[in-house]
């Protein structure tokens, strides 16, 4: 099936308590298995205090991300076989919309360096130097809202 044949992305915003089963499955697949992030670094106390976005294509949860109360976006993950089909972009835009709704003026994130172009297309600008996070090179990026 080509990307143009995909069903529309359906987004759900919610709490960790409600979305946890799908979020854990997705993040385990992408971060722990695919990217070798140590499990003890993946799960943290920020999950419980964040709003989470979960993207669905038909009956498959394919992408997720979270917005912390301080305006940081994180844990943006897309299943490998669904990348390039708009689900990650939909998650990011939903989190940006939620940040605006909450009165936030700026969003910050730690982007994996291979994904800089993705975030730049959404208006983020890199700042600072490359740093290591969970064994993966990252760069801080910021977007004014």
User: What integer is the mean pLDDT of 54-68?
Assistant: 96
* DSSP β-ladder status, 125-133 and 106-112: unpaired
Encode burial over 53-76: b for 16+ CB neighbours within 10 A, e otherwise: bbbbbeeebbbbbbbbeebbbbbb
Per CATH, the number for 3-104 is 3.40.630.30
pLDDT band at 5; cut points 50, 70, 90? low
Helix (H, G, I), strand (E, B) or coil at 120: helix
pLDDT digits (tens, 9 = 90+) for 97-143: 999 999 999 999 999 999 999 999 999 999 999 999 999 999 999 99
- Domain range list for the chain: 3-104
What are residue 138's DSSP bridge partners? 112, 131
pLDDT digits (tens, 9 = 90+) for 79-98: 999 998 899 999 999 999 99
What pTM, to 2 d.p., does this model score?
A: 0.93
CB 132 within 8 Å of CB 112: no
Phi and psi dihedrals of 53, rounded to 5?
A: -115, 135
pLDDT band at 1; cut points 50, 70, 90? very low
> What would you measure as the largest C-alpha separation in the chain, in angstroms?
40
């Amino acid at each position: 099936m080509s990307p143009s044949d995909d069903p529309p992305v359906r987004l759900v915003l919610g709490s960790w308590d409600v979305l946890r089963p799908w979020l854990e499955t997705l993040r385990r697949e992408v971060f722990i298995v695919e990217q070798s992030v140590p499990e003890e670094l993946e799960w943290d106390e920020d999950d419980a205090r964040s709003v989470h976005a979960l993207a669905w294509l038909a009956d498959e949860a394919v992408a997720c991300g979270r917005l912390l109360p301080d305006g940081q976006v994180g844990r943006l993950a897309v299943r490998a076989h669904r990348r390039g089909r708009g689900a990650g972009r939909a998650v990011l835009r939903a989190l940006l919309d939620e940040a605006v709704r909450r009165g936030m003026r700026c969003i910050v994130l730690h982007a994996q360096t291979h994904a800089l172009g993705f975030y730049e297309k959404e208006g983020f600008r890199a700042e600072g130097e490359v740093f290591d996070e969970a064994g993966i090179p990252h760069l801080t990026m910021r977007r004014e809202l």
